[in-house]
């Protein structure tokens, strides 16, 4: 699965696209397939401080 990861604090804020292992469900868990998300500037503000 592909993931957008913010792994390097500081300016500029950079998202890296990396391959991650597929998630697995345990007993009592629910797995939800997410097809799209939105990332806005405000989502990264907390990462800069």
pLDDT single digits (tens) 1-49: 888 887 776 666 677 889 999 989 999 999 998 888 887 777 666 666 5
Length of the chain: 49
**Pairwise CA distance, residues 48 & 40, whole Å:** 14
> How much is the pLDDT for 10?
66
**Pairwise CA distance, residues 34 & 28, whole Å:** 19
**Pairwise CA distance, residues 14 & 39, whole Å:** 12
List Cα–Cα distances, 6 to 9, 23, 24, 29, 33, in angstroms: 8, 19, 22, 26, 21
**Pairwise CA distance, residues 3 & 20, whole Å:** 6
pTM of the predicted model, to two decimals? 0.51
């Amino acid at each position: 699965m592909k993931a957008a990861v913010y792994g390097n604090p500081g300016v500029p804020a950079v998202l890296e696209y990396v391959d991650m292992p597929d998630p697995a469900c345990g007993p009592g868990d629910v797995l939800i397939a997410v097809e799209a998300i939105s990332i806005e500037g405000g989502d990264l503000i907390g990462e800069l401080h």
